[in-house]
Amino acid sequence: MNVLVTGGAGFIGLNFVHYLLEHTSYQITVIDSLTYASHPQEIQALTSNPRLRFVKGSISNKSDLEATMDRKYEAIVHFAAESHVDNSIQNADDFVQTNIVGTYQLLQQLKTGVAKRMIHISTDEVYGTLTPVQQPFTELSPLSPNNPYSATKASSDLLVRAYYETFKLPLMITRCSNNYGPFQNKEKFIPTIVLKALQDQQIPIYGDGQQIRDWLYVQDHCKAISLILESGTPGEVYNIGGGNEKKNIDVVKRILEIMGKSDKLIEFVEDRKGHDRRYAIDSSKLQSELGWKQSSTFDQSLLNTVQWHINNFGASI
């Protein structure tokens, strides 16, 4: 069985490639343009496994994409994206190119019948923000993105939905909450805290630090995607949440505690534009229909993640 993974050299994609190599016998093709957020050495190293083929190319470039279409795929799992909100506020060009145009190019390829199904990996950010008392987002919540990144993801979700309705392509969408775990880029929240704390530098926290995120361990996310790959229904959206709603400030304090560092490193800085206050996601559909449940706890997985980042940064600082 052949599987194409777009963005397989990035944080979640790379964890998913490891997951497939470990838990399945699939032949895997990865296409990734190797942006700053990728792990080129890690993906190259994995090509020593004959089950993994790596193609360096952009999904928004038709001929790059066609280079991977020399075989029929049981499934495509589409992770490739520009994913950092702060960058999208500075300049959203690459976000429009990859997240919207790239997804469009992929959908065009699917029209040729190259794959039996595709999972489009999206985000809870497409739903916008919640007040402290609102119920978590369900798959039926309206799309209400508040920043350029989430707007491009919502746009790609709508393209996927339209290609399902118009061309009856076998497409599914997943919307996950904030992931954490190995291989996350150092620009993101948890790695940033670990890196700054290791160097005894001030840790910048946006606004009052009371923003709430729902943390999902990347291994649990991979397991959910794998279940959807096997038994998901085309045309459906599946929310994947960690059920771990935490205030940003509390996550920072817990990491400092794990690392034996002082809270005095925390520095409140001007809030980010369009900063969503709270995300929380209802995964009951995935649990009841496909039997997904998490196998990790936030405390243990956070500990493992902090340790992973310390080891990873150790060599570079």
Residues 93-132, mask of contacts with ligand NAD (x by CB under 6 A): -----x---x------------------x-x---------
| Closest CB to ligand NAD among residues 121, 261 | 121
125 belongs to the catalytic site: yes
Q: Could you say whether residue 146 binds ligand NAD (CB under 6 A)?
A: no
Least distance CB 52 / ligand NAD (angstroms):
15
Quick one: tokens of 35? 């942006």
Torsions phi, psi of 165, nearest 5? -70, -45
Contact between 243 and ligand NAD by CB under 6 A: the answer reads no
* Beta carbons of 120 and 172 less than 8 angstroms apart: yes
User: Between helices 248-259 and 298-314, what is the axis angle to 10°?
Assistant: 60
Tell which one of 20, 59, 224, 229 touches ligand NAD (CB under 6 A). 59
**Is residue 60 a contact point for ligand NAD (CB under 6 A)?**
yes
Contact assessment for residue 245 and residue 202, using Cβ atoms and an 8 Å cutoff: no
203 - beta bridge partners? 266
Look up tokens 């309206």; give the residue: 142
d(CA 209, CA 207): 6
Residue 73 tokens, joined: 């795929």
Closest to ligand NAD by CB, 26 or 79: 79
Identify which of residues 190 and 261 has a Cβ nearer to ligand NAD in the complex. 190
Question: Does residue 178 belong to the site contacting ligand NAD (CB under 6 A)?
Answer: yes
Q: How many residues bind ligand NAD (CB under 6 A)?
A: 31
CA-closest candidate to residue 81, choices 93, 92, 95: 95
282 an active-site residue?
Answer: no
Shortest Å, Cβ 203 to ligand NAD: 19
From residue 46, how far is each of 18, 21, 22, 176 by CA, in Å? 9, 9, 12, 26
Residues near ligand NAD, by CB under 6 A:
6-7, 9-13, 31-35, 37-38, 58-60, 79-83, 98, 102, 121, 123, 153, 176, 178-179, 185
Which residues are known catalytic residues?
A: 124-125, 149
